[in-house]
Each structure stands twice: as structure tokens, then as C-alpha cells.
Structure 1
Amino acid sequence: MEPKVARLRRGEGLRGEQEDRPSAEGNTEKDRGMDLVQWTRHMEAVKMQLLEQAQGPLMELLDRAMWEAIQSYPLQGGPPPSVPPDSSSKAREPSLGKRKIFIIRKSLLELMLEFDLLIFSFGQLPLALMTWVPMFLSTLLVPYQALRLWARPRAGGTWTLGVGLGCVLLAAHNAVLCVLPVHVALMYQLPPASRSVLVFEQVRLLMKSYSFLREAVPGALCARVGDGKQAPSFSSYLYFLFCPTLIYRKTYPRTPNVRWNYVAKNFAQALGCVLYACFILSRLCVPVFANMSREPFSTRALVLSIMHATLPGIFMLLLIFFAFLHCWLNAFAEMLRFGDRMFYRDWWNSTSFSNYYRTWNVVVHDWLYSYVYQDGLWLLGGRARGAAMLGVFLVSAVVHEYIFCFVLGFFYPVMLILFLVIGGLMNFMMHDRHTGPAWNVLMWTMLFLGQGIQVSLYCQEWYARRHCPLPQTTFWGLVTPRSWSCHT
């Protein structure tokens, strides 16, 4: 029989084991709670470390941007800081210790009318205007005189001599219009805006001369054989040279009076568009593209520059449209009491590129439709619509590329490819059968992208030709894009 003391000791041990089990389990749960707390603290520390590491570069960028803004707009009463602030030391400061510091400074997008770009663009404008005088006099006198020579009655060799003399006069007229502005622009290195005056007047006078002869010669020949028709008067031709249309008619619908306040308002709005365009170029294009050619070429930089140029590009497109097709043409129409003022239609609502091309510039479209498309159908046959339409795109693309080449002073066929290849494909793919808001959004998206490509590539080429001039002038050097190889 087991002693009582032993039984008691064994019972006490058993109870002790039973008491020890809950305490061990409690210690395990306690350890797990402590591990969870430590893990949470560790994750909080990692998060704070990551935030501090991300905050450093961000604060450095913000501080540098503020320093550059202060450099651009010096403080009143003191010089700007010569070195950028130590952003890395500021990033290590506790965020609770930072305070707002007020200084005298201006907004980054404040409208500051800097006339340097405007003065440069319109440099030597008096020379361009002096060059315009012989161009206009040639257009005023030669086509009308050639028409009179051709309209003479046939009497022996007199008519043949008159026809030959008229052709010689027209050849001299074309030489004056084609050679003189190019010679002046290259000889005196005219800046872009002054070149724009010459090239737009060159193209306008050529198109008006062709329209006058195309419309008046058949009537003058009929008047020569005595069917009752009269040759056009010189006053009607003089009016045609200034009125805002490229299609010659003996008479046009006229308004009863001139609203001179409306004329002044349109000229003021056109001037405001020119100033705003200079502001956009100086603030959104020059800082981005001025030094881009000095950096190594990369596809990423090119794509980013195109995306950046979409906004200023579409701004420039809208400013050109409003300044010229609305303000300028309406001002001249009002002064001349020209009644038909549909210079454009609602191209912004277009759901197809074919409709956009018809409605963007009605003045030029009427000339192309009358003298390229319809005459092409007459020469090729009524079924050759595709060939006639291709001829319209070819003529328009070549003239647009010539204008860009003349104004910028270099050959870079961006406009030719976009207008003839991409624009031609879009004209046949996005035709008038496509309707609905989605197609209008697609058209605007393509316009944004196209304008971004033009602004980006032309700006890069402009600065590349200034940073990397040719050691010697060669033909291939003139026609090869310099931005592809210029990395100074």
C-alpha cells in the first residue's frame, strides 16, 4: 500500500503539470503577439524609409523648378540666387518643421509679352513689302494685257504676233512671281514671318492669275468672233485681285455699306492672334526644343517631344484658322463690300477627313475643285475620279511643302508625307459614310497627333541647323535632315 505522502506528492505533481500547461500556452500566445507588434513596427519603419526615399527626389525636382522660376523672373530689389538650393538637405528635414516662406515672385504662366521673337520673325519686313510691289504690278498688268493681245481679231500675222507676245509676257510674269521672292529671301536671309508674307502673296497671285485667264480667255475668244460677249473690264480684274476669293467672276454680290468698326475689330483680333502665337512658341516650344539636338537621340525622347508638341500645335492651327480665314478675310470682305463670306464651314464637326478637307478652307478648296478636279475629269474622262482626286492631293501637298520650305529655309518633307500619304489614306478611309461622335473624336485625335509631329520635327530641324552648320554647302547637305545626325 502506497504511503499517503507519496500519493499526495504525486497528486501535487499532477496538479502542477496541469497548472503548467495553460501557462505555457499563454506564453506562446504572448510571444506571437509580441512578434506581431515587432513585425508591424518593422513594416512601419520600412514604409517611412520608402516615403523618405521617394520624397527626396520629388522635393529636389520641386526646389529646382522653383529656383529656375526665380532665375527667369528676378526678385525686385536684389539679384537672383546664383546656385540652386540644396534640396537633399531639405529633404532630410522633418516635415513638421517646414514652414511656408513668402517671397516676391510671379506666376509661371503669367502673360509676359516678350517681343524678341516677334521682332526677329518680322525682321526686314520693309524689304519684303518692297519686293511685293513688282510682284503685284506684274500680276496687275501682264495677264490682262495678254488677254487683250489674244482677243484681237485675226488679220494676217498680227494675231499670231499678238499671241506670241502674250505668251512671252506671261513667261516673264511667271519668272517675276517665282524667281524674285526666292532670290530676295535667299540673298538677304529673310526671317520666317517676312518670308511668309512673300510666299503667301506669291501663291495667291499665281492662283489669281491662273483663275483670271482660265475664266476670261474662253469668253474673250468668243467675243472676238462676235457672239455678243464682252471681254472683262480692267476694273473688275483689279477688284478681283483684292477681294477674298480665288475664283474670277465679272461681278460679285455686294453689301450696301462698310462697317469700319467691324474692320478695325477684325484687324485687332488678327494682331492679337499673332501675339498669342509668339507667346505659345516662346513658352511652350523654344524651352523644349532649343537644346534637344544637343542630347543623344532616343525613341523615348522623340515620342515625348511629339506628345508635348500636340498642345502648342493645335493652338497654332486654331490661331492660323481664326486669324486668317476669319479675321483677315472678313476685314477685306467688309472693306470691299464682298457679300459671300463663307470662307470656311463647320469643319470642327466633321466626322470624316474628306469633309474636313472640303470645309477647312473653302477659298482654296473652290480653286482646287474648279481647276484641278473638274478640269482633270474633263481631260481624263468622267470616270477618272480617283485620278482627279489624287491630282488634287498632289498639287495641294506640293504647294504646302513648298510654303514650309520657303518659310523655314530648309527642305524637310514632313508636310508632304503627312498631307499626301497619311492625309490621302485618311481621305479614302474616313469618308462621308462614317457618322457619329466617335468619328469626330477620332478626327480630332488625328489632328492633335499630326500637329504634334509637325511642330516637333520642324522645331528640332530648325535648331539642329543652327547648332550644327554645314562645313561646306552641298546639295545632299541641304536636303538631308540635320536633326538626324546633330548631337553636340
Structure 2
Amino acid sequence: MATSKTNSKVVHRANGQESHSNSSSTENRPVRQDAKNTEDMLQWTMHVERIKTEVIKHAKAQISEMLDKVLTDSLQSLSQSTHSNAVENAQQTDGNARRHRIQDGKVFVARQSMLDELFEISHIQTIYHMFIAALLLFIISTLAVDFIDQGRLVLEFDLFFYAFGQLGTVIWAWFIMFIYTLLGPYHILNQWSELYSQYQWKMLVSVATAVVLLGAQMSVLGYFPVYVVLHYQLPPASRFIIILEQIRFLMKSYSFMRETVVAVLRDKSKKGEAARFPTLSSYLYFLFCPTLIYRESYPRNPYIRWNYVRRNFAMILGSLFYLYFILVRLVIPVYMNESNQPFSRRTLVLAVFHSTLPGMLMLLLGFFAFLHCWLNAFAEMLRFADRMFYKDWWNSTSFANYYRTWNIVVHDWLYYYAYRDFLWLSGHRLRSLATLSVFAVSAFVHEYAFTMGFGFFYPVMFCLFAIIGVLFNFTLNDKRKGPMWNIIMWTCLFIGQGVQVCLYCLEWYAQIHCPRSGTGFWELVTPKSWTCNYKG
């Protein structure tokens, strides 16, 4: 009996332990399952957050690019549809009205410059700080070299004083060009508008006005700046100021005349409506605002941020000092040829690759100082709201896109007044020829500016734009995608800048060491660096 009781207790205890273990395992199983579900949920959440970040990043870039493209192309597509409808209804449309139909142009929208948006990101600010640190290193190294060689700690800016010499002549010459550009085309076109509405011989009035305008433009904005540059023998920076302002005034006045003539003809075609001529104040504002496309009004900001203006002018001054130290420390020592050895093919090749880094730094400084700082400073002072002076050209995978995004201000002028007007005149048939004409105009203007600025003819810029630029535009086109093509584009830019700096510096010192002996045509157009075997 005792044994049976004992066995029953053992069995009961075992059953109790088994039931307890079963209950424990049953209780732990949901806990482990919940932990696994929680871990899976966390991993999934992190994965979703990563996807969300990437989607937002790409969507922002795509939406920004898409909106820019839609805003600039919407009127073009609208005009094309209008043109197709006009063709379908050609029998019901007056031929002269259709022949004078001009497509609507650029749409201005209030927006920031891309670098202003990027500078709000700390990572981009760090890159900007790195460039400032490099400028400080240039200053310190220059002081150290001067102290070791000459025993003094003084920064001399002789190159600045030489390059920007005769500023008084530059100022009065600029003032004459400005006064003519403001009053000349405006009053001539205003007189034409009145005579066009009063006299029956409209074609005669238009031809006479065109002859007068052409003569005035050629005299004041054509011959006069060239005379000032050559007669007073201005130094390089002063030359470039006069020549670039000459080109700017020509482009501004052409835009005003083109837009005004079209507006007057359009108003005249509407029966019962008087032609409305633009106000002088709108034209004066256009001469200073950072765009080459004339409009009677632009989107405006409500106030001026003077701290922003001062900061941009300070960065322009810093960029000039940066350029000075690049020339003094990286460029001039290579081409002064202090080793008294004439330049050979080996030396030329080495000089090209020595010039790639300073050449690329000059390109970036020119972009930052002018297209960002200078244009934004004037846009802010004039409350001009459309700050899209450039796009993200640094991300380009094709030279076709690079040419479109590098300088939006000049690109808009070439696109609307050279490319589209050429297509309109040719009946939208010769697109390739229109593209070639734009490259030809750009190549001629760049070569003219460099020839007049440096004081000698060396068709480096013309060949780069008219030959290599055209070749790259059609071969490295928008079909090229991927990071590798961006690397190829940057490599070509580095080499191109090295070639420009090298050839122009060689010609500069050749002109100094081997002066021209005559004024004949071939003497003026033949580069001296081809025949001058000088020693430093």
C-alpha cells in the first residue's frame, strides 16, 4: 500500500512537471514569435525608409528637371500645334498674317539659382570651404616664397594693376556705349512705329529705318569699341571689359528691337487697336537685369537682401584673388621659361598637361564669379526673381546637354533669336543647318572676344567651337547616359582647358619676345609662336 501511494505521488509529480513544462513552452512560443515579428517589422521599416529616401531624392531631381523643361517647352509645343492647325486651315488663313506669325518666347518664373539651393546642404558647403582653404594656402605659400627669396612679407599685386590699367578710359567709353544703347534704338524704333501707322509706304519706311539702325549700330557699337581698344592700347582686363560690354549691348539692343518690332506688327494687324510702344523705363531696366530676352515686365521679388548682395560681391573679389594666385603660382612660372630652353614638342606636351589643372580652376572660377555671383548680385539689387542662369551642367553625360546648361542666359538668346528664327525662316526644315549656324555664331563671337582681348589672332576658340564643339555635339549627344560618359565629358574639359591655357600663354610670350615687324594681313593673322624660337 505504501509503495502504491509512493508511486502515485511520483506519477502525479511527474505529470505535474510535464504539464508545467508544456505550459511554459506554450507560453514561450508566442514570446519568441512576437520577437521575430518585431525584428522583421523593424527591418522592413528600415528598408521602407531607405526606399523612401531614395525615391524622394530621385523624385525631387526629376520633378525639378521636368518642371523646367515643361515651363520652357510648353509655349513651344503650343505654338507648334497652332502652326499645324494653321497649315490645315491654310485656305482660310490670310497668307501675310501667317507669314508674320512669330512664336512666343521664353517664360520667366521666380526661382533660385541651383548653387544657392545646394549651399544649404552641409556637404556642399564643405566643398566650398575646401576652395577657401586652398586660397589661404596660395596666400601662405606666396608669402613664404617671397620671404625666402626676398626677405619680406608683402603681397604685391602688380599683375592686377597692369591688367586693369586705364580704367578711366574704360569708364567713359562704356558710358558712351550705354547712352547710345539706351536712347538710340529706342527713339529710332519709336519714330518708325509712328511713321509705320501714318504712311502708306510701309515697306519704304521699314527699309529706311533698318538702314539707319544698322549704320548707328555699326558706328557706335561696332567701330567705336574697337577704336578705343586699339587706339589707347588698353591692357587685357580693360580690353575684355570693353569688348564684352560691346557684345552685351549688341545682344540686348537686338533683343529689344526684335521683340518690339514683332509686338508693333502684331498690334497693327489687329483692327481697331493702337500700337503700344514699350516704355523707356522698362528698356532701362532690361539693360541692367541679368537676361538677354526683352520683356516689358519680369517676375520680381518683394525686397532686396543687401547682405546677399555684399556676400556675392565679396565672393567675386575672392575669385579675382584666386585667379591672380593661380596665374602667379601655377601658370606664369611654366611659360616664363626661366631655364633658357626653347620650347620643343616634349616641352609643349608637358606644358599642356601642366595647364590642365589651372585651366580647369579658371573655368570653375569664371563660372562661379560671373554666372553665379555677378548675375545673382545684380538680380538681387533689381529684385529680378528668375535666377536660373545655369543648370546642373556638371552632371552632364553629353556635350549637347553641357552646351545647353552651362550658360542659360546666352543659350536662351541663341536658341530664340538664332536657332528658332532660322527654323521659322526655313519653314522648320533645316534643323541641322540651324544648329550649325548657332555654333558658327558662337565660335565667331568667342574668337572675336579673345582676339581683341589679348591683342593677337590665334583661332583656338574658333576651332574648339566650330570644329571640336560641333563634332562633340553630334557624337556625344543626349543618347549617351551613365557615369562613364560624365567622366569622359570631364576628361575632355580638362584637356580642352589645358590646350587653351597652353596655346594662349605661348602666343602671349611669343608676341613679347618676337614683336611683329609689319602690318600686313599674313603678318597679323599668323601666330608668332609658330615661328618664334625665343629663350626666356
Aligned pair partner of 2:146 in 73, 77, 84: 73
Q: What pairs with 1:114-153 in structure 2 (closer than 5 Å)? A: 114-152=156-194, 153=197
TM-align CA RMSD: 2.3
Q: CA deviation at 1:476?
A: 1.2
CA 300–364 in structure 1, closer or farther in 2 if over 3 Å, else same: same
Q: Which moved more, 1:293-302 or 1:389-398?
A: 293-302
Q: CA deviation at 1:454?
A: 0.1
Aligned pair count?
389
Q: CA deviation at 1:295?
A: 3.3
Tell me what 2:216 maps to: 172
Q: CA deviation at 1:389?
A: 0.4
Q: TM-score, with normalisation over the residues of structure 2?
A: 0.69
The code of the aligned residue for 1:426 comes to F
Measured in 1, the distance between the counterparts of 2:190 and 2:376 equals 33
Tell me what 2:475 maps to: 429
1:231 corresponds to 2:304: no
Tell me what 1:420 maps to: 466
CA 184–374 in structure 1, closer or farther in 2 if over 3 Å, else same: same
Aligned pair partner of 1:246 in 284, 287, 292: 292
**Conserved? CA contact 1:232–1:250, under 8 Å:** yes
Q: CA-to-partner distance for each residue in 1:166-192, whole Å, 9 max, x for gaps?
A: 632441233111111111111111001
SS in 2 for 1:434: coil
Q: CA deviation at 1:222?
A: 3.4
Q: CA deviation at 1:298?
A: 2.0
Measured in 2, the distance between the counterparts of 1:239 and 1:265 equals 23
CA 292–185 in structure 1, closer or farther in 2 if over 3 Å, else same: farther
Measured in 2, the distance between the counterparts of 1:470 and 1:395 equals 29
**Conserved? CA contact 1:144–1:234, under 8 Å:** yes
CA 159–371 in structure 1, closer or farther in 2 if over 3 Å, else same: closer
SS in 2 for 1:189: coil
Measured in 2, the distance between the counterparts of 1:240 and 1:365 equals 17
Q: CA deviation at 1:224?
A: 4.2
Measured in 2, the distance between the counterparts of 1:172 and 1:292 equals 49
Measured in 2, the distance between the counterparts of 1:257 and 1:296 equals 59
Measured in 2, the distance between the counterparts of 1:376 and 1:160 equals 24
- Structure 1 or 2, whichever has the larger Rg, is 1
Tell me what 1:441 maps to: 487
**Conserved? CA contact 2:143–2:155, under 8 Å:** no
**Stretches of 4+ moved more than 4 A in 1?**
69-72, 156-163
1:200 corresponds to 2:244: yes
Q: CA deviation at 1:474?
A: 2.3
Measured in 1, the distance between the counterparts of 2:528 and 2:210 equals 44
Q: CA-to-partner distance for each residue in 1:78-104, whole Å, 9 max, x for gaps?
A: x97xxxxxxxxxxxxxxxxxxxxxxx9
**Conserved? CA contact 1:461–1:482, under 8 Å:** yes
Aligned pair partner of 1:155 in 187, 199, 205: 199
Measured in 2, the distance between the counterparts of 1:281 and 1:170 equals 41
Q: What pairs with 1:70-109 in structure 2 (closer than 5 Å)? A: 72-75=145-148
The code of the aligned residue for 1:309 comes to S
**Conserved? CA contact 2:192–2:209, under 8 Å:** no
1:478 corresponds to 2:520: no
Q: TM-score, with normalisation over the residues of structure 1?
A: 0.76
The code of the aligned residue for 1:260 comes to W
Tell me what 2:68 maps to: none
CA 201–229 in structure 1, closer or farther in 2 if over 3 Å, else same: same
The code of the aligned residue for 1:178 comes to G
Q: Could you list the runs of 5+ residues in structure 2 that have no partner in the other structure?
A: 1-141
CA 162–434 in structure 1, closer or farther in 2 if over 3 Å, else same: closer
Q: CA-to-partner distance for each residue in 1:257-295, whole Å, 9 max, x for gaps?
A: 001111111011111111110110111111111238963
Q: Could you list the runs of 5+ residues in structure 1 that have no partner in the other structure?
A: 1-68, 81-103, 107-111
1:350 corresponds to 2:392: no
Tell me what 2:54 maps to: none
CA 228–473 in structure 1, closer or farther in 2 if over 3 Å, else same: closer
Tell me what 1:290 maps to: 336
Measured in 1, the distance between the counterparts of 2:490 and 2:452 equals 28
Q: CA deviation at 1:129?
A: 1.1
Tell me what 1:188 maps to: 232
**Conserved? CA contact 2:399–2:489, under 8 Å:** yes
Q: CA deviation at 1:296?
A: 3.1
CA 161–421 in structure 1, closer or farther in 2 if over 3 Å, else same: closer
Q: CA-to-partner distance for each residue in 1:446-465, whole Å, 9 max, x for gaps?
A: 00000000000000000000
1:313 corresponds to 2:386: no
Tell me what 1:279 maps to: 325
CA 190–70 in structure 1, closer or farther in 2 if over 3 Å, else same: closer
Percent identity, aligned pairs only?
58
Tell me what 2:257 maps to: 213
Q: CA deviation at 1:161?
A: 5.7
**Conserved? CA contact 2:164–2:235, under 8 Å:** yes
Measured in 2, the distance between the counterparts of 1:401 and 1:105 equals 42
**Conserved? CA contact 1:113–1:279, under 8 Å:** no
The code of the aligned residue for 1:387 comes to L
CA 70–170 in structure 1, closer or farther in 2 if over 3 Å, else same: closer
Q: CA deviation at 1:419?
A: 1.2
